Amino acid sequence: MSNLPATTPIADLVRCAKMRWRVEHDYREPEHGLGPDRFEGRTWRGWHHHVTLVTAAQAFLTLRRYDPEALTTA
């Protein structure tokens, strides 16, 4: 079931269905691997610093994942 037009190719429907997994993975990866929930500080500045570093690490990992040369040099 979809709200896309009936003329939408099956390949596009499959691509859209697989995007859900990618989005869920992108939410789950920082939680388990990068530790945004591991902050134990007490200040707003400390929390902001921690979240900034976690976001930078997530961006690095995402760019590395999509870089075709990273797979051959690793």
Q: What does the H/E/C string look like for 46-68?
A: HHHHHHHHHHHHHHHHHHHHHCH
pLDDT in tens, 19-67: 887 778 777 777 777 776 677 777 888 888 888 888 898 888 888 888 7
Q: How far is CA 38 from CA 20, 30, 35, 63, 68, in A?
A: 26, 11, 5, 24, 32
- Distance of alpha carbon 39 from alpha carbon 30, whole angstroms: 13
pLDDT category at 71 given cuts 50, 70, 90 is low
- Residue 40, both tokens: 């134990």
Who wins on pLDDT, 18 or 71?
A: 18
| pTM for this entry | 0.52
